[in-house]
Amino acid sequence: MVDIKNVFKMYNQKKVVDDVSISIEKGTITSFIGPNGAGKSTLISMISRLIAKDDGEITIDGQDIMKTKNNELAKKISILKQSNSINLKLTIRELVAFGRFPYSQGKLRNEDWVKVDEAIRYMELGEIQDKYLDELSGGQRQRAHIAMVLAQDTEYILLDEPLNNLDMRHSVQIMKTLRKLVDELGKTILLVIHDINFASCYSDHIVALKDGKIIKQGRTCDVIDQCVLKDIYDMDIEIQNIDDRKICVYF
């Protein structure tokens, strides 16, 4: 369980995250939605201690993240940010192997390689696992990075706009994989996402942010609601039920 209590973050006198409190249950997908500049990425970066919070408390399974050892935390929670500009001469397999660093400190044992192989298989990268990163398409590279996070084998996985630069087919493929991770392996996933229809179709909970504040949080069916969306995005969004899924029509 991730517990966030009264968290603040300021940049140049502007409150980017303003008194946010959420609890996230285990074994769910929680999507963070909201307009640009709402503080979604900042919040998710703070949960994963990439940036420090100004005030408040974040605990994971009861442990304060600032007081937990870096290495221990890296076995519990992993994050993938949207900018993945690695410019090393690395193959997919080598990249994924880096995910085992918290366990192996660089010297991979057999069980580490088993995890690496599993992650590669899970993301269907087996055939291209020896290709270099700079030879890959955007979608393949994104999948390679997710495979690295999988190899890290953490209970909690944080993803910052994982669908960026992906076409529809790959987007759906990745969201299905994430769903599978939660349903089959019991992972807990937090993701920042722009497309509210993806959020609506694949997540269990949605947290809606605007100007650093939480506007609404709850089960997906409660948040995907005409009034709520109007509050978030300042536009009228019609919602239709198609095959039991709520689809937002905002064009």
Partner 1 sequence: MGYKKKTIILAIIAILLAMLYIFYDLRGNIGYILPRRIIKVVAIVLTGGAIAFSTTIFMTITNNRILTPSVLGLDSLYLLVQTFIIFIFGANSLVMMSSNINYLVSIGIMVLFSLLLYRFLFRGEKNNIYFLLLIGMILGTFFGSFTDFMQVLIDPNEFMVAQDRMFASVNNVNTDLVYISIIIIVAALIYFMRFYKYLDVMALGKEHAVNLGVPYDYIVKRLLVIVAILISVSTALIGPITFLGLLVVNVSYELMKTYRHFYVIWGSVFISIIALVGGQFVVEKIFTFDTTISVIINFIGGVYFIYLLLKENKSW
Among 13, 36, 62, 87, binds partner 1 (CB under 8 A): 87
Among 13, 36, 62, 85, binds partner 1 (CB under 8 A): 85
Among 13, 36, 52, 67, binds partner 1 (CB under 8 A): 52
Nearest distance from C-beta of residue 127 to partner 1, angstroms: 23
Residue 87 or 241: the one with the smaller Cβ distance to partner 1 is: 87
Does 192 contact partner 1 by CB under 8 A? no
Burial class (CB in 10 A: 0-12, 13-18, 19+), 199: buried
Determine the size of the site formed for partner 1 (CB under 8 A).
30
Among 19, 57, 59, 86, binds partner 1 (CB under 8 A): 86
Residue 125 or 214: the one with the smaller Cβ distance to partner 1 is: 125
Does 105 contact partner 1 by CB under 8 A? yes
Helix ranges (H only) for the chain are: 40-47, 70-76, 92-98, 101-104, 110-122, 138-152, 168-185, 196-202, 220-223, 226-233
Burial class (CB in 10 A: 0-12, 13-18, 19+), 8: middle
Contact 194, 166 (CB under 8 A): no
Pseudo-torsion of CA 218, 208, 83, 115, nearest 10°?
0
Q: Which residues pair with 9 in a beta bridge?
A: 17
Does 188 contact partner 1 by CB under 8 A? no
Q: Which residues pair with 206 in a beta bridge?
A: 31, 218
Among 6, 23, 71, 137, binds partner 1 (CB under 8 A): 71
Nearest distance from C-beta of residue 107 to partner 1, angstroms: 8
* Binding region for partner 1 (CB under 8 A): 48-50, 52, 70-75, 78-81, 85-90, 94, 98-99, 101-102, 105-107, 134, 152
